[in-house]
Chain A
Amino acid sequence: MRRLKGLVVDWVLLTLFLLMVEFLALSFSGSRGPTGLLVTPEETLDLLHYGWCAALGLLVAIAWQSLRGVRRESPGHALIFGEETDEAIPWTHTLRGWFTALLIELTFLTGWLITEVQLFDFLTQFNKATDIVRGLVAENVFALFLRNAGEVPAQSADVLHQGLVLLVQTIFLAFMATAFAIPVAFAMSFFAARNLTRTTSLSRWMYTLVRAVMNITRSVEPLVWALIFISWVGIGPFAGVLALWVHSVAALVKLYSEQIESIDHGPVEAITATGASTLQVLRYGVVPQVIPPFLSFTIYRWDINVRMSTIIGFVGGGGIGYILKPRVDLGQWGEVGTLVILIALTVWAMDIISAKIRERIV
């Protein structure tokens, strides 16, 4: 069984290795697609021989598994069975070391091609973006210092006013989402902590269930949740609160439960030994140990929610994003800049405040 696990690891690694080799070979040979043009990286991905690579990978993996000795051992074997020797052998002296190094190099090269990295454009074409940057920065910053108050266009003052009002909404939106998330995440985190859910089969089931639901919830972007809740409760800040709430619960359950898993087991033993019931053991043995980190995580989450709630408005979930989106679409960079600066100042302030509070309680 363990040898099989090692074999699977080797198989996956070798298949990836072969696929990347083929991808790079195709890319650098400049092969042409059906249209006669040079193939793009995406088209190259379609041309790879996945089946053949997997088959060849399996063969090599089996062959490698049969090799023994530290210097020739396969990565999978070493990973599952651990090092077979005490002496420290530098990676350059093992087959596995060279293979791993090459795999990392290949991954980086493949990544470079697939994401179409263009270093030259990045370094030389800044002038194409100057309009936007000038709008974002210059029109706002210089307006403050260089122009007389009377010369500020009425439009800009209007955006500033609207922005400030919606900023208040944004902060409260984030606050309410966090506040609603705390009790739910707190209760659920105990079921999501491995060390508390080992005793009965019911609790093991709860662990698996809570973990699964939370992982799925967390992997759905808040923007998607916002769309769901906008249909549910209508356009407006409450939909945004719900979207951030769901996402915060999932994130906090993960952070909380990992904290619970890392507690000192001693007090739990001591309280259990007095004949206390499960709830009492949690109250005395677990809760006192996790309260400070929980507070810290929660404030950090509020901080994240403030940043996210600016985006939630893009789809109609309330907050400052609601007036930001149309201005981005229309390219009104001066007004976008005003709003972005407002958001930046808020996030900055939140960051300072939350850092100070966390410093105090931990």
Chain B
Amino acid sequence: MTTEAVRVEGVSKVFDPDIQALTDVSLTVEQGEFLVVIGLSGSGKSTLLRCINRLIDPTAGRIWLFGEEITAAEGARLRALRTQIGMIFQQFNLVRRHTVMSNVLSGGLGRASLFGSLLMRYPEEERRRAVAALERVGLGGRGGSRADRLSGGQQQRVAVARALMQQPKLILADEPVASLDPALRHSVMRHIESLNRDEGMTVVCTLHDVDLVQRYATRLVALRDGKLVYEGGPSDFDADTFRDIYGADAEPATDMLLGTEGATP
């Protein structure tokens, strides 16, 4: 039995017309890791994440998920594999007009009966699970509110509860805190960390802030212009490697190394 959660081999993605988003990326994510992917905007981080659960089809290359090739899966098999991958987005991507409860319940759609879910009826057990997930992220009692009435940080916690509801083995988090107030970043990151530590879910997360990287990552990879340019532990990651990855133009970002941004408790 393999211990790898994700294996990416030689993945490239070209968008119409001629935008090379990823070039020959290969990497392996071990089970239980908190892998952080860094890189400038447009470096291909989001594309890489979306290739892993096939929201985007790679142009070339293969990807395995817990030993099964997801790039070869279609239809019901692909959907079954996707149920094992929870996803958290920069813009939360909640169904804004639905209630918080309904949003959390939608995490379980992959195992719900088609007819029941179209009528938005769920078994009692699923409801209990959703209530527990909401309490877990500190939103107990808010299930009846409309999703768009909540603040950004609360909405992202609903998205975490939705991922928790899905009970996946892998979490893909695409800039989960980039749209949030700096003061709220750690509250959301800690919930994602808890999915990793307490639930044993493997996490692949893209981040911008260096202090967050050093605080949460167990391992780190960096992309530049769609190519994998760095792989290492968070402690090896210093101002020099930062400049290597982000280029000399990113000089002002060294401020972040001093931890001036973000409210570290």
Contacts and interface: CB of A to CB of B under 8 A. Distances in A.
20 contacts: A267-B94, A267-B95, A269-B50, A270-B87, A270-B94, A273-B86, A274-B107, A274-B109, A275-B85, A276-B117, A277-B114, A280-B109, A280-B118, A283-B117, A283-B118, A283-B120, A284-B98, A285-B95, A288-B95, A288-B98
Main secondary structure on chain A at its contact with chain B? helix
Contacts of A269: 50, 55, 87, 89, 93
Interface string A277-317: 10110011100110110000000000000000000000000
Given A273-B55, A279-B114, A279-B118, A284 B109 contact: yes
Interface of B: 50, 53, 55, 79-87, 89, 91-98, 106-110, 112, 114, 117-118, 120, 159, 162, 166, 172
A289 B94 CA distance: 11
Given A273-B82, A279-B114, A284-B95, 9 more contacts: A267-B93, A269-B50, A270-B93, A275-B80, A276-B106, A276-B117, A280-B118, A284-B109, A288-B96
A271 B108 CA distance: 10
Given A267-B95, A273-B55, A275-B82, A280 B114 contact: yes
A92 B228 CA distance: 51
Contacts of B98: 284, 288
Given A273-B87, A275-B82, A284 B106 contact: yes
B42 to A, nearest CB: 18
Given A272-B82, A273-B53, A288 B114 contact: no
Contacts of B108: 274
A275 B97 CA distance: 21
Given A280-B117, A288-B97, A275 B79 contact: yes
A267 B55 CA distance: 12
Given A270-B93, A284-B95, A276 B118 contact: no
A266 interface: yes
A274 B89 contact: no
B106 A273 contact: no
A274 B110 contact: yes
Nearest to B83: A275
Contacts of A292: 97
Contacts of B95: 267, 271, 284-285, 288-289
**Most chain B beta carbons < 10 A, residue from A272, A276, A285:** A276
A274 B91 contact: no
Q: Which 4 A-B pairs rank lowest in CB-CB distance, beginning with the nearest?
A: A275-B110, A275-B83, A266-B93, A275-B82
Contacts of B97: 288-289, 291-292
Nearest to B108: A274
Contacts of A266: 89, 91-93
B118 A274 contact: no
A283 B116 CA distance: 12
A106 B131 CA distance: 69
B55 A274 contact: no
B109 A276 contact: yes
A270 B89 contact: yes
Contacts of A277: 79, 114
Contact of A271 (B80, B109, B118): B109
A91 B92 CA distance: 45
B83 A274 contact: yes
B177 to A, nearest CB: 16
Contacts of B112: 280
Contacts of B87: 269-270, 273-274
